[in-house]
Structure 1
């Protein structure tokens, strides 16, 4: 391969890698709507209890650095709100849950309503304000009074 062609291939690889990195970074931590399938506390673990209003479920692994950051953020959000529980699920101990819930990266976070329905999904570390806003939406929608 001549030097000019090699240089062009190298530049193309750098550009493609940069674009993919920027796309990944832009999507990381964003809240997306979910399909609403139901989750039971028992399938997540023996001592798992859901919140009365909502539950934050984080799928993590022991050696995931961003998972520790997400755990602090999500645990803090749950502590600030009555009726909201935080559950951390170690995928190394329960690998079958990765395929059940389509987890392809850690951390992956599910926001559940009071009935265990998945209302939102987050891949990566979310902002606390975004999670609180989504929890408020879930609470509003599940506490609608029909007259």
Structure 2
């Protein structure tokens, strides 16, 4: 009888964790800036090596050959970037292979695949998305970044 109770508790806990994970999947969250100048320098160096161009917002998504949902991310990102191609500051679509670029993945704290970042024109992380992004959310997060701001 005790074993059945423990099993029931484990099942309820697993369902709760599953619900929390599913709820956050695909949700756009505000990004975090690195806290130290050394971390900022390393990040800038790695992003430049990866192909992030200064002056353009970038959708940076990590993938791998063995990642099934990564194909859906490719489709969503390609569609939204194509929609915004005529914008004054059209975003760049950059896919990074996790297996080939583990240092960048570590620096950006990529814990699962797929993970997508929306970077502003200076290469700063504005948003982070775990899982497949919802097209409307990705479009909304890129919208303000595709309009160039006047120099201060």
Q: Is the 8 A contact 1:55 1:113 kept in 2?
A: yes
Normalising by structure 1, we get a TM-score of 0.85
Of 114, 124, 137, 2:131 maps to 124
CA shift for structure 1 position 91: 0.8
Aligned to 1:17: 14
Change (3 A) 1:39 1:108: farther
Q: Secondary structure at the match of 1:42?
A: helix
Aligned to 1:85: 92
Query: Map of 1:1-147 to 2, 5 A cutoff?
Result: 4-37=1-34, 39=44, 41-44=47-50, 48-50=51-53, 52-82=55-85, 83-139=90-146, 143-145=148-150
Q: Is the 8 A contact 2:91 2:146 kept in 1?
A: no
Q: Is the 8 A contact 1:55 1:85 kept in 2?
A: yes
Q: Is the 8 A contact 1:51 1:85 kept in 2?
A: no
Structure 1: runs of 5+ lacking an equivalent: none
User: Which is greater in Rg?
Assistant: 1
Q: 1: CA distance between counterparts of 2:31 and 2:18?
A: 24
Aligned length: 139
Normalising by structure 2, we get a TM-score of 0.83
Q: 2: CA distance between counterparts of 1:51 and 1:107?
A: 24
Q: 2: CA distance between counterparts of 1:55 and 1:32?
A: 16
Deviations 1:109-132 (A, max 9, x none): 110111111111111101111000
Q: 2: CA distance between counterparts of 1:67 and 1:106?
A: 7
RMSD, aligned CA: 1.9
